[in-house]
Structure 1
Amino acid sequence: MNLPDPRSPLSPLNPKRNPLGDISVLHVGVMLRAAEAEGVNVQDLKRRFQLSEQTLTSPAARISIPRFMRMGHAAIEACGNAGLGLRMGALSRPVDAGIAGLAGEAASTAGAGLLTLIRYSLLTSRNARGTPTAQPEKRRLQFYSIRPYNAFNYFVVDSVLAGWTQFLRTITGQWDVLERVTIEYPSTGMDELFETWFRCPVQFSAPVNSLTVRQDAWTRETMQAQPAMHEKLTQICDKELQEIQRGWTTGDQVRSLLTPLFRGETPSLETIASKLGITPWTLQRQLAAENTGFRELMDDTRKQLARDYIRETETSLSEIAWLLGFANPAALHKAYRRWFGVSPGEHRKQFRETTPQLLT
């Protein structure tokens, strides 16, 4: 299997490309199906977001997370259904999660299938905010926080939780598979719709985005259980995951860990070293061998993310300051002028004037 070189700056697997993250066109395809089912002119949507058939049919193609969110928001505005994320989940299939979805479908139990999806999530989506996690002992899957929440990203949480639920329903043949769903953002007035769709209690304004699976569903044998095929497919997934991770320098690994930890604080060298399983001295030595340092990486990561937040999103300056770990907006303003020679507000205005298509 020919994989894109993860070290190339053009590779969708390179963490330096799209600092905020990127997502496989497999997920874009699900969005387009859901939008079309809601009566949206998807050909127009594809033209607006410059998505060619060649891109949509390329197994390695990805688009940036901000572009994906703008596209989802545009689809919601076009159809008027704020619950489009649930529709996306309902229309998703195991194959829409790529090889990991097929591997999960062939797992012996539903729980093992879900854990397969979580383990290989990086193969189809990379987000600077974090990665999905699982607590098998609690039969719980958790989607990372993507605060601050707004009309551009509610549907992302909905589609992920609904997609996991639909996957579970598909591989078990059961409809009632959940005990509880928690959603971090506040209620948008669709509580009844969500509880009807998930068929369990749904808590908004919760500490985390998660779903808890019923015991009988977690341990249920999957309808397509095939141990030999599951093993073969997970071997392919492991190979792809190794290719991604092999291409990451120590600096790349530090960058990937920094962003989720920035929120309201400045991560320390000791914290990052601990997460990498090495000593602070070893981390400093490895970074020095790559002609960089921890403070330099932290500043550069903030610089890239700040530019992307200003250019790609409508996030307020106070929220961006918090997301990047600055003490206040004034500290962000000072750093931004040092980086770009212009204030963040002025830079956003320039982006909007020179690239109005970013608003679509």
Structure 2
Amino acid sequence: MTPPTRCKVPVGLEGALRACGVAPGDVLALAGLPPDLLAGPGAALPVGAYFELWRAIRKVSDDPGIGIALARAVRTDLTEPYFLAVFSCATLGAAVEVIARYKRILSPEDVEASIDRASGEATITYRWPGGAGPPPQALVDAELAFLTELARRVAFDAPLRIELATPVLDTPSGHAAYYACPIRLGAPHNTVVLASTDLERPLGTHNPALLRALLPYLRANTPTAPDTDIERVRSAITQRLPAGTRPTVDTVARDMAMSGRSLQRLLREHGTSFRDLLDEIRHDHARAYLGTTSFSDAEIAFLLGFGDPASFYRAFRAWTGMSPGRYRQQDPQPGTASINPR
């Protein structure tokens, strides 16, 4: 899969800047970017321009810890695809996997998680493309602080260690006070090191009822009290989808407290298969996302568990005979209200 060449501007950045006392207009002017860039959803910038945005944030704020402050101030709206996927995960480890997958699909940034069982550590490494030079420290801080905030939902003493590629920090005391753990400077990469056991801890934000209430079609297609076997399977698949990974027979069967073979046999008895049912649910949800939200095609691909936007595009054409863009131009679906979850 070819990595994206543009960086998606975080939804909620404008509000977080204001919450931190930073004027978004001053930031955009200094970075040479359009004054309305942060006003609408889905803004994306070339890597160089994205780095300039974060350099401008640091200069206008005059705060060496602005990245950390922004990560703590962002409103994690669960109707934003990224946050919806992350906070629908059952464990911290699953959330880390979602973050890595989101970056692969929607950002040139790469996130990799590795676990060293011998030392009991899990290392989450962030890498940015090298063509635009080293990433601004404010951006690095924002990404690592977001993961730290997530980890502290399950472990009070997270993280174990922070490793930063920069050889020096403007005010090391601020970082030391926030992370409250050893910080290594001049490291090969920017990483957050957690206890490997923390990845198995329940995230505490897993809330299928909230997910079902996201859009009218989720309520319709995922009954709160399923009374047939097929509805139970549909419910289990639907609850898995927003986590940004493709549900499998084994994962859904485990959620339903049965074996994969038993699930396949159940579906055969009802004249269907797991693949057909998953395809049907993805089709229904794709049409609803396109008809009732402003999510981009890449974000919808992510939420439906596709490996990349091109795979979603091909599947949608096979389902409907038209492109996602053409479908958006049609009238809203009957019985649904258009919403903008940004």
Normalized against structure 1, the TM-score is what?
Answer: 0.53
Q: Name the counterpart of 1:42.
A: 24
Q: Give the superposition deviation at 1:91.
A: 2.0
1:242 and 2:225 aligned: no
Report what 1:139 is aligned to: 122
1:206, CA displacement in angstroms? 0.9
Q: Per-residue displacement from partner, 1:40-67 (whole Å, max 9, x unpaired)? A: 22234345520426x64334x3122222
Shift of 1:148: 9.0
1:104 aligns with 2:86: yes
Give the equivalent residue in structure 1 for 2:108. 126
TM-aligned CA deviation for residue 111 of structure 1: 1.5
SS in 1 for 2:108: strand
* Alpha-carbon offset, residue 231 of structure 1: 0.4
- 1:164 to 2:147 alignment: yes
Give the CA deviation at 1:142. 0.4
Amino acid at match of 2:87: E
Amino acid corresponding to residue 8 of structure 2 in structure 1: S
**CA 1:100–1:84 in structure 2 vs 1: closer, same or farther (change >3 Å)?**
same
Query: Is 1:23 equivalent to 2:7 in the alignment?
Result: yes
Shift of 1:118: 1.1
Q: Structure 1 residues 140, 67: closer, same or farther in 2, change over 3 A?
A: same
Task: Indicate the residue corresponding to 2:240 in structure 1.
Answer: 231
Alignment of 1:316-355 (within 5 A): none
Aligned residue number for residue 179 of structure 1: 160
CA, structure 1 residues 40+33, in 2 after alignment: closer, same or farther (shift >3 Å)? same
Q: How many angstroms apart in 1 are the aligned matches of 2:86 and 2:239?
A: 7
SS at match of 1:203: strand
In the TM superposition, residue 145 of structure 1 has moved relative to its aligned partner by: 5.2
CA–CA distance in structure 1, aligned partners of residues 79 and 137 of structure 2 = 20
Alignment RMSD, CA only? 3.4
Q: Deviation of residue 179 (structure 1)?
A: 0.6
Whole-Å Cα distance in 2 between the matches of residues 154 and 220 of structure 1? 30
Q: Distance in 2 between matches of 1:189 and 1:45?
A: 20
CA spacing shift, 1:33–1:225, aligned 2, 3 Å: same
Answering whether residue 29 of structure 2 is matched by residue 52 of structure 1, we say no
User: CA separation in 1, counterparts of 2:173 and 2:133?
Assistant: 20
Residue 209 of structure 1 corresponds to which residue in structure 2?
190
CA–CA separation in structure 2 for the residues paired with 1:160 and 1:199:
17
**1:224 to partner: Cα distance:** 1.8
Q: Structure 2 CA distance, aligned partners of 1:213 and 1:192?
A: 21
How far apart in 1 are the matches of 2:207 and 2:8? 26
**Residue 178 of structure 2: aligned partner:** 197
Q: 1:22 to 1:45 in 2, by over 3 A?
A: same
Give the secondary-structure state (helix, strand or coil) at the position aligned to 2:307: helix
Distance 1:230 1:121 in 2: 22
| CA shift digits 1:151-181 (9 cap, x unpaired) | 97122211111121123334x3x44221111
Q: Contact between 1:120 and 1:241, CA under 8 Å: does it hold in 2? A: no
- AA aligned to 2:241 is K
Secondary structure, aligned partner of 2:205: coil
Larger mean CA deviation between 188-197 and 146-155 belongs to 146-155
| Aligned residue identity for 1:80 | D
Instruction: Assess if the C-alpha contact under 8 Å between 1:168 and 1:177 holds in 2.
Output: yes
Following TM superposition, by how much is the alpha carbon of 1:197 offset from its aligned partner in structure 2, in angstroms?
0.9
Q: TM-score, normalised by structure 2?
A: 0.55
Deviations 1:272-309 (A, max 9, x none): xxxxxxxxxxxxxxxxxxxxxxxxxxxxxxxxxxxxxx
Superposed CA deviations along residues 73-93 of structure 1, whole A, max 9, x for unmatched, are 222222211221111222235
Cα distance change of structure 1 residues 203 and 63 upon mapping to structure 2, 3 Å threshold:
same
Conservation of the 8 A alpha-carbon contact between 1:180 and 1:200: yes
Give the C-alpha shift of residue 226 in structure 1. 4.3
| 77 and 152 in structure 1: CA distance in 2 versus 1, 3 angstrom threshold | farther
Q: 1:200 to 1:125 in 2, by over 3 A?
A: same
Whole-Å separation in 2 of the counterparts to 1:56 and 1:45? 13
Aligned to 1:221: 202
Whether contact under 8 Å (1:186, 1:205) holds in the other structure is yes
Structure 1 pair 178–197 and aligned structure 2 pair: CA distance change class (3 A) = same
In structure 2, do the counterparts of structure 1 residues 198 and 245 end up closer, same or farther at CA, with 3 Å as the change threshold? farther
For residues 52 and 40 of structure 2, the distance between their equivalents in structure 1, rounded to whole angstroms, comes to 21
Number of matched pairs: 223
**Structure 1: tracts of 5 or more residues without a match:** 1-5, 7-12, 16-20, 249-360
- Structure 2 residue matching 1:90: 3-state secondary structure: helix
Identity level (%):
18
CA distance in 1, matches of 2:45, 2:125: 23
